[in-house]
Structure formats: structure tokens, C-alpha cells
Structure 1
Amino acid sequence: MSAELRLAGTLDLGHGSVPLDAAFALLDALARERSVQGTARRLGVSYRSAWGRIAAVEAACGQPVALKTKGHGSVLTPFGEALRAALAETFAATDGVISAARGRLDGRLAVLLAPAPARLRLALSHDTLLSAVARTCPGIDVSVAGSAEALAKLASGAVDGAGFHFGERAPRPGSPFAAVFAEAEIRVVPLFLREQGLMFARGNPLGLGGVADIAARRARFVNRQRGAGTRLWFERLCAEAGVRPEAVPGFDTEEFTHQAVAAIIASGAADVGMGTRAVAARFDLEFLPLGEETYFLATRSGAQHPALEGFVGAVRAQARHEIGYAPAETAPI
């Protein structure tokens, strides 16, 4: 892709006008060929058309530019030669300027017409800090998904990165998604630590002190969707407390974000749910901490997107300043 620039205009000496470049091409061809027949061949026109062009230039100038010589074809008149030389000097003087302008225009066009860089596609288990940072980073498309769904999208190639968590600081044998950390084709890095716990109304009207109390006091619970890391954590806590999930009122009531869970509790439609300290504070709910977990980002090994490093750096920096978050042991991207 390149632009074509040339000197254009008209030659007007008071008797009419002809295109400037056409007049120079005609006079230069006649000076070189010294015959109208040769001029016609050089210009790619008929003999008759060449004579027509000579006549048009002469009409514009008001005097002859070509002269027939007996037995020697046609030549330029002194006026025609002087005009050719003047036009040649003009074209030569502007060549450098036009060439430089063409180079600048080509550069601008290359930027304007260049294909847009591929956007970084992320499927992230819901987190308010991540959502806020993603909105400030250009070139990133974020979809909210449960941890299991996010990793499935990464495995299928639907996204470039998957954010996930499972209620622990580090993987251990038998923990959810442990196999992800062992895959050679997947690179997993920690983004931050965050605190999760039970969220309920100020004053703790039901006197909830842990997961066992939810079932014992028939508190209305709001759960997360299947495959969500928070739901996996809650199910593990239930097992550790000896509570059957079906004994928890509302266990099958599912929401897709921490904020949706908090909003239902704040409205009075439910009594308790599990979420982050940051979301509890945002909805003015009381918070009973249950532990800290690491939030991880998984990407394909060797397939680093230009926007990834900046996004991860911004997330880690913001985690130092948000309530309920802390830096995780970091790894380079």
C-alpha cells in the first residue's frame, strides 16, 4: 500500500489551458524522439492524437512549439524548447518535496490502515478489583465465569487467560484444579490474596458464628453457581463442619457474582452468603472471615499477549491498597 503523488495543475499563458504534466510529457517526448510518430509511440497514443495534443499546447501558449523539418521529422521551436526546459526544472525542483510528502503520507496511511491488534480475551471468576482494573486497561475483553468455566474456556481456546480460585493459598494433591498447575502447556501465576467470609446484616441478628450455624438456625443462604470457586470453598467448609449441603436453606439459590449475593442480603431477601470483605463493605454488611485464598491467572505457555504484563502489574499494584486484599507471592509474566 502506497500513495501516488505528482505535480499537477494547468499551463495557462492567456490563450487557454492544458494540463501541466501532459504538456511537459508531450514536449519532452518530442525533444527526445524528434518526430511526431516517435512521440506518439512514446506517449502510447495515435499519430493523429499526438498532433492534436501539439495543437492544444500551441493554442494555450499562443505560438508554435513544434516545427516540421523536411526529411528530418519534427523538432521543438526555440519557444517550445525553452518551455520544456522550464517545466523540466519545475518538475525536478518539486520531486524531492513530493517524494518526502509521499513518504510521510505512506507512514500515516500505514498506521491508519494497519489491522487492529488482537484483543486480550479473559474469562475471570468474578472479583470487583479485577473488574475495576480491566476497565482501565485498553485492548482487553473480559467475561465473567465461574472458575471451572473460565478454565474450560481457556482449554478450548475461546479465551487467552482464565482467572480462578478455590479457597486455598496454594494447590495441594486433591485440591480443586490441581491438575491445571501440572499441565506443561499452562502457565499459572498468582495475582493476589483476598479474604472471603460470611456476609450478613449488621448486628448479626441470627447470631451466626460459622457454617454450621447456617443450617442449625435455618438462615436463608444465597449460593454461587456450580463451578464457582466460592461455591467449591463453601462445600468444603460444609464437609469439614459435618453439614450436608441439602440441610442449608437456599443452597440451590444461585447467583453469579459476589455483588449479586450481597445485594440480595442487603435487600432482606436472604440472611447470609459467602463473599469478599470488599463487597461486604460496599453493601454495608457485617463480615465474618473464613480465610484467605490466592486468586490465580492461567494462560497458555509461550503465548504472551502484549497487554497481559500491564494488566497483571496493575492488578497486583491495586491489591496493595484495597480492603480485604494483599499481595500474593508473585511470579514474572
Structure 2
Amino acid sequence: MTQASDTPSLLIDLGLGGTITVGSHRVSVSEAVIVLEAIAATGSVQGIATALGLSYRAAWERLRALEAGLGHQLVQKTRGHGSALTPTGQVLREALGAAAGSLAEPMAREARALRARLGPVLSEDQCPLTLVASHDLLLMEVAAAWPGITLAVAGSEDAVARLTEARADGAGFHCGALDWAAAGPAFAALAADPGFRVRPLFEREQGLMLAAGNPLAITDVADLATRDARYVNRQKGSGTRVWFDRLLAEHEIPTERIRGYATEEFTHQAVAAVIAYGAADAGLGARAAADRFGLDFLSVGWERYYLATSSSLADAAFDALAEALAERAGRTPGYRPAAPKDAA
């Protein structure tokens, strides 16, 4: 696992650009934004001069050229209060601000993709890719030694949010036995946006991890309530927590009837350890974690574990990681390769 530099030598910042053409006049959108925001913030043409690195006179000329190009007065002087935007200027500022806001996250993702492509060419920055992923034992083992990728652990919903907000290059997530596109708003956003690529990495078996020997003779989820089992949960937002909540709903079991429902751990391994040490009787998790701690295991089904990335990302490192995980899944108990036809 590559360690990211605290001070990358290559930084890329993309913003709203393009032009507005009115008749035979064309004006720069980015310059219009700077001019309007400078007036709104400072109430002075000097603010434009400072923002654009111009003299006061040149700033006035730039403002007048912008107004001539659009055919409307954008700034007016007010007695004792400097300069202010006209109603037209304010409408234009708000419209451009809304456009910039709606494009902020996609542009930030494109900036990350550009940095990954250009870093090795334009600087000595190796530009490792950031993968934020829901905890999985196989993934942790393989990715921990993978060059060009930094790994951080988070719940599935948080991982996806970090990807969509351009705080990560990849998101590893799972959502139980449901298809990822139908598993809730956090995941449906990926399905609706062609700017993302989602592919299955592997499948894994999930179930109730139980104290060795299963002393409470638990045979299904309903027994957790009827036998007053001490349960240890996963944190809110994790894919395993989402699956457990669905299981409770299917059995019509209120969360209040699960002793320890509010007790949370952040990884499968941590849940298994709590049970192995005798502090709990059961918890939902991966077979691999149960096997590692010598616990009994009651399967509730198989689920796919996915990797989501930006469609424009040149992700050779992720491609190689996905191939290695598929190979390992084929020979690791509790895992199996994902069917290629499920790739999105």
C-alpha cells in the first residue's frame, strides 16, 4: 500500500469556463464570475483589479467590455457605498454560481483523474490512487501490498459518498444480496450517473457469526430475539448493517428486541473478536472472519463486493488489483469470483 505525500507537487483545479455569446459579442464565463464575485465581495472596482491582477483603470475597462459584450449594465455606483451589482448583474452572478455549484463535484473528479494521468509526466509526484473501501479481509490482505494505491477503511455508504464528492478515486462497497443499483439512494446515484464505472470484484458469504459450539442453538435471525442473544452490530452506513436491518424487517423484528443492537464495531474482524472473547453471542459478518476466530457460522447468503471509479480515470492499478482479487477469491474459503456479466 503506497503512502500518499502530504504535499503533492502537482495540483489541478478545474472550474467553470466557456463563453457566453450575445449577437456578435463573446465574453469569458470565468472572467465574468471573477468580476461579479469581486464586486459582491468588496463593493469596489478595486476588488476586480486585485482579483485579476490589473490596475484600477484596466479593471474599469475590463468591466465596461464585459457590460458591452452582454448588452447590460452589471455594476452601478451608489453614493457613499461604493459599487454594487445591478439587478441584471445579480441575476447573472446567481446563475453562474448555480452552474458552478452543480459542476463542482464532477469537475473535482475530473481533476483527480487528470492528476493521476499527468503526475508521472509533469512532476515527480507518483500520484497514488486513493481507495476508500468497506472492510473486507481479502481486500485488506491484497491491497495492503499493492503499489500505487492508498487504502482507507469506511462504511459502504461513506465510501461511495467520498467517491462522488471527489475525495477518493475509488470506492469499495457492498449492499447485501440486493443488486447494487437498487440498494438505496447512496448506491442508486452511481447507477444513474454515466460518469462512474462499477464492477464486481468478488462474491463473499455472509452470515451470523456465533460463539464456538453455538451454545444458544441459534438457527435463524429470529432466534436472536427469542433467545435474548447478546448481539454486536456493525456501524451505521456499513453494508453489513444495511443487510442486517433488512433481515430484521423481513422477520418483522423491531430493533428494540435485539439485545446489543446499539453496540457497534467497525470491521468484520472486530465483531468476530468480540464474540470470540465472550463479550457477545452473535454478529453478522463474513465467513472468513468467523473462520479466523474459530467461530460457528450460520450462512444468510452470498453478496457481491463492488469497486466504483470515475469513468474517465485511467485506472490500470485498479484493473490489476481487480484481477488479483478475482484470482484469490477463487481459492479462498468464503469467497468466489464474481460473474463477469454482472459488471456495470
Report deviation, 1:139. Answer: 1.6
Determine the structure 2 residue equivalent to 1:126. Answer: 135
- Paired amino acid for 2:318: L
CA distance, structure 2, for counterparts of residue 174 and residue 327 of structure 1 = 21
Match of 1:223 among 230, 233, 244: 233
Q: In the alignment, is residue 193 of structure 1 matched against residue 211 of structure 2?
A: no
Contact 2:174–2:180 under 8 Å retained in 1: no
SS at match of 2:313: coil
Match of 2:333 among 323, 326, 330: 323
Contact 2:181–2:191 under 8 Å retained in 1: no
Q: In the alignment, is residue 204 of structure 1 matched against residue 214 of structure 2?
A: yes
Contact 1:191–1:330 under 8 Å retained in 2: no
Report deviation, 1:268. Answer: 0.1
TM-score, normalization: structure 2? Answer: 0.62
Contact 2:248–2:255 under 8 Å retained in 1: yes
Report deviation, 1:172. Answer: 5.7
Describe how 1:283-294 pairs up with structure 2 within 5 A. Answer: 283-294=293-304
Contact 1:195–1:276 under 8 Å retained in 2: yes
Determine the structure 1 residue equivalent to 2:51. Answer: none
- Paired amino acid for 2:150: D
Contact 2:181–2:190 under 8 Å retained in 1: no
CA distance, structure 2, for counterparts of residue 173 and residue 287 of structure 1 = 28
Unaligned runs of 5+ in 2: 1-119
CA distance, structure 2, for counterparts of residue 147 and residue 295 of structure 1 = 10
Unaligned runs of 5+ in 1: 1-110
Determine the structure 2 residue equivalent to 1:310. Answer: 320
TM-score, normalization: structure 1? Answer: 0.64
SS at match of 1:197: strand
- Paired amino acid for 1:155: T
Contact 1:186–1:300 under 8 Å retained in 2: yes
Contact 1:194–1:293 under 8 Å retained in 2: yes
Contact 1:169–1:193 under 8 Å retained in 2: no
SS at match of 1:307: helix
Determine the structure 2 residue equivalent to 1:238. Answer: 248
Determine the structure 2 residue equivalent to 1:139. Answer: 148
Report deviation, 1:169. Answer: 5.4
CA distance, structure 1, for counterparts of residue 124 and residue 292 of structure 2 = 41
Report deviation, 1:316. Answer: 1.1
Describe how 1:56-95 pairs up with structure 2 within 5 A. Answer: none
Contact 1:224–1:256 under 8 Å retained in 2: yes
